[in-house]
């Protein structure tokens, strides 16, 4: 079997294409395979599929293919063009690569698997391509995947923010809480950042939104109220963000009390910061005895922690009326505890209480969005951060978008 027939078999080249010649560069471990089509071959119009004769050919193009026997393999061909009466002169589709690609479909499929498993720099080294070429493959994969996925409105939406750099630089993430995917990412955490997502849908499409989980950030609230029909009854303020305000209040009480105690030579609260941030059941066994002793002491921080733990019960009720009754008792306790940070947190929650209690209608949280946020943080860590926000978007869609990234005829 000669080299042309060997590579015809290895590459799976089929009629009307054939291997014209094979050039092997042994010192540089490179193989160049030149493809050509039979004379008189007809090709389909890429728009309507009509079989047409060849109009002309473009300049020769080169595609990187999978390595063969440790040799980097490159395909060469002059893509034919057809003249369609309806669509004009267009380049015919090639069976081994997509339009505009510099890599074959097989190579792109391998590259995507490697890129999913590691960062861009390491993937480029493994694949023997440049950093820019690896990014180009990611960009094409995301563009292809988002086009195939289309624009459907998720029924249950999660909205969260992600810090991408120092200096209060944020991105807004919109997640499908049922599919656990990032649907949209935009710069900043402004009202316009979220509205631009909603503006991408046709009029009336947003009626399909059943519930939106978010924190109590006014720009996000305003965007939902303006764009989502019936948003007042669909917004659910995430329980974890609500508890975060109270936890921050506990920590502020601890800081103030610790400072006052140290001024009198009392180090009772030293090295106890993280103990007060735990829930009761999550306190480490090695610290439980010490923490129990702290709670028994007459500490303001212990009272603040008890209030925080009590509030967690709000989301355990099965009926909204019972939850409201509990809230009234807790709010009275919190606002009369003489601990300003806790009073402030309680009043903040009270101002947003209607959309705290919508939890009993929809029973959703941003736990999925927080999980995706953690995954995004891992992506950032792998890359040691992103200076280019557009590159950051592509990386998030690539790893968290739930997209079919692979070229046609490849499914995962």
What's residue 412's pLDDT? 43
pLDDT given at position 409: 67
Burial zone of 201 (CB within 10 Å; 0-12 exposed, 13-18 middle, 19+ buried): middle
Closest CA relative to residue 98, chosen from 409, 411, 390? 409
Distance from C-alpha of 365 to C-alpha of 353, rounded to nearest angstrom: 16
Q: For residue 333, with 0-12 CB atoms within 10 Å meaning exposed, 13-18 middle and 19 or more buried, which class applies?
A: middle
Residue 383 and residue 324 in one domain: no
**Both 208 and 264 in a single domain?**
no
At CA 374, angle to CA 369 and CA 380, rounded to 5?
A: 125
**Residue in the structure block whose two tokens are 């019936």:** 230
Q: Do 381 and 306 belong to one domain?
A: no
The residues near 70 (Cβ < 8 Å, ≥ 6 apart) are 29
Residues 6+ apart with CB under 8 A from 372: 160, 173, 175, 180, 181, 182, 400
Output the CA angle 335-245-220, nearest 5 degrees: 120
- Domain that includes residue 375, residue range: 156-238+371-400
Residue 387 lies in a domain: yes
Both 310 and 347 in one domain: the answer is yes
The pair of three-digit structure tokens given for residue 363, joined into one six-digit string: 């029973």
Task: Find the angle CA(203)-CA(213)-CA(352) to the nearest 5 degrees.
Answer: 105
CATH label of the domain that carries residue 188: 3.30.420.10
DSSP codes of every residue in 223-256: HHHHHSTTGGGTEEE-HHHHHHHHHHHHHHHHHH
Q: What is the pLDDT of residue 383?
A: 66
- Distance between CA atoms of 286 and 271, rounded to whole angstroms? 14
340 and 271 part of one domain: yes
Comparing CA positions, the residue from 293, 250, 292, 289 lying closest to residue 273 is 250
Q: How far apart are CA 378 and CA 385, in angstroms?
A: 10
In angstroms and rounded to an integer, the radius of gyration of the C-alpha atoms of the chain is 30
Q: Is residue 410 part of a domain?
A: no
Q: How far, in Å, CA of 97 to CA of 65, rounded?
A: 10
pLDDT digits (tens, 9 = 90+) for 326-380: 999 999 999 999 999 999 999 999 999 999 999 999 999 988 888 888 888 888 7
pLDDT score, position 390: 86
Confidence of residue 168 (pLDDT cuts 50, 70, 90): low
By the 8 A CB rule, do 109 and 117 touch?
A: no
* H or E element at residue 213: strand 211-214
Contact call for residues 305 and 342 (beta carbons, < 8 A): no
Start-end of H helices in 129-190: 131-149
Please give the share of the chain, as a percent, with pLDDT higher than 70. Answer: 97
Mean pLDDT on 398-410: 87
Pairing of strands 42-44, 51-57: antiparallel
How distant, in Å, are the alpha carbons of 187, 194, 219, 360 from that of 224? Answer: 17, 8, 9, 19
Taking residues 159-180, report their average pLDDT: 85
Q: Are residues 197 and 273 in the same domain?
A: no
Measured in degrees and rounded to the nearest 5, phi and psi for residue 196 equal: -65, -30
Residues 6+ apart with CB under 8 A from 152: none
Residue holding tokens 């592509």? 394
Residue 363 zone, left/alpha/beta (φ > 0; ψ -120 to 50; rest): left
Residue 319 contacts residue 312 (beta carbons within 8 Å): no
Q: Please tell me whether residues 357 and 244 are part of one structural domain.
A: yes
Q: Residue 315 has which token pair?
A: 């989301």
- Per-residue confidence band for 162, with pLDDT thresholds at 50, 70 and 90: confident
- Residues 72, 43, single domain; the answer is yes
Instruction: Read off the pLDDT band of 411 (50, 70, 90).
Output: very low
User: How many domains is the chain built from?
Assistant: 3
**Statement to judge: residues 375 and 233 lie in one domain:** yes
The token pair that represents 339 in the structure block: 């601990």
- Is 118 part of a structural domain of the chain? no
- In three-state form (DSSP H/G/I as H, E/B as E, the rest C), the secondary structure along 95-141 is CCCCCCCCECHHHHHHHHHHHHHCCHHHHHHHHCCCHHHHHHHHHHH
288 lies in a domain? Answer: yes
Domain shared by 178 and 200, yes or no: yes
* pLDDT averaged over every residue in the chain: 92
Of 66-70, 174-178, 339-343, the range with the lowest mean pLDDT is 66-70
Look at residue 175 and tell me if it is in a domain. yes
Q: Say what the pLDDT of residue 1 is.
A: 58
- The tally of CA atoms less than 13 A away on the side-chain side of residue 344 is 11
pLDDT in tens, 86-99: 999 999 999 999 98
Q: How confident is the model at residue 410 (pLDDT cuts 50, 70, 90)?
A: low
Question: Rounded to whole angstroms, how far apart are CA atoms 31 and 70?
Answer: 10
Mean pLDDT of 195-220: 94
Task: Determine, yes or no, domain membership for 405.
Answer: no
pLDDT tens-digit readout, 99-138: 889 999 999 999 999 999 998 999 999 999 999 999 999 9
Residues 287 and 206 placed together within one structural domain of the fold? no
Has residue 130 been placed in a domain? no
Domain edge (last residue) among 76, 96, 116:
96
Comparison of pLDDT for 316 and 370, the residue scoring more: 316
The pLDDT of residue 167 is 59
Q: Is residue 117 part of a domain?
A: no
Average pLDDT over residues 48-68: 94
pLDDT digits (tens, 9 = 90+) for 261-303: 999 999 999 999 999 999 999 999 999 999 999 999 899 999 9
> pLDDT digits over 227-259, tens only?
999 999 999 999 999 999 999 999 999 999 999
Give the per-residue pLDDT at 385.
63
pLDDT, position 2: 79
Other C-beta atoms closer than 10 Å to the C-beta of 316 total 9
Let me know whether 313 and 342 are in one domain: yes
């Amino acid at each position: 079997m000669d080299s042309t027939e060997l590579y015809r078999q290895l590459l799976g080249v089929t009629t009307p294409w054939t291997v014209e010649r094979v050039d092997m560069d042994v010192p540089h471990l490179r193989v160049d395979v030149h493809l050509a089509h039979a004379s008189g071959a007809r090709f389909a119009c890429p728009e309507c599929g009509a079989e047409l004769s060849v109009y002309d050919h473009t300049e020769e193009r080169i595609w990187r293919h999978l390595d063969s026997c440790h040799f980097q393999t490159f395909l060469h061909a002059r893509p034919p063009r057809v003249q369609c009466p309806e669509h004009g002169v267009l380049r015919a589709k090639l069976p081994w690569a997509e339009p505009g690609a510099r890599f074959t479909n097989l190579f792109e499929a391998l590259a995507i698997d490697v890129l999913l498993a590691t960062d861009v720099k390491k993937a480029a080294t493994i694949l023997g391509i440049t950093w820019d070429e690896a990014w180009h493959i990611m960009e094409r994969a995301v563009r292809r995947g988002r086009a195939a996925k289309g624009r459907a409105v998720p029924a249950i939406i999660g909205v969260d923010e992600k810090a991408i750099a120092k200096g209060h630089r944020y991105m807004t993430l919109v997640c499908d809480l049922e599919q656990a995917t990032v649907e949209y990412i935009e710069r900043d955490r402004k009202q316009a950042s979220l509205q631009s997502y909603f503006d991408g849908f046709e009029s009336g499409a947003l009626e399909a939104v059943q519930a939106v989980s978010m924190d109590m950030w006014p720009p996000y609230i305003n965007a939902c109220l303006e764009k989502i029909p019936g948003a007042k009854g669909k917004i659910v303020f995430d329980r974890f963000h609500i508890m975060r305000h109270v936890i921050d209040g506990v920590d502020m009480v601890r800081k103030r009390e610790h400072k006052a105690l140290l001024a009198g030579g009392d180090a009772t609260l030293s090295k106890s910061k993280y103990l007060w941030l735990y829930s009761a059941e999550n306190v480490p066994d090695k610290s439980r005895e010490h923490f129990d002793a702290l709670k028994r002491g007459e500490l303001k921080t212990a009272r603040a922690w008890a209030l925080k733990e009590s509030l967690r019960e709000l989301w355990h009720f099965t009926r909204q009326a019972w939850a409201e009754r509990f809230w009234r008792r807790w709010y009275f306790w919190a606002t009369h505890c003489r601990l300003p940070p806790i009073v402030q947190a309680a009043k903040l929650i009270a101002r947003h209480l209607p959309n705290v209690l919508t939890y009993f209608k929809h029973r959703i949280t941003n736990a999925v969005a927080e999980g995706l946020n953690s995954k995004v943080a891992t992506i950032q860590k792998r890359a040691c951060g992103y200076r280019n926000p557009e590159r950051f978007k592509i990386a998030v869609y690539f790893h968290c978008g739930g997209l079919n990234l692979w070229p046609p005829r490849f499914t995962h």
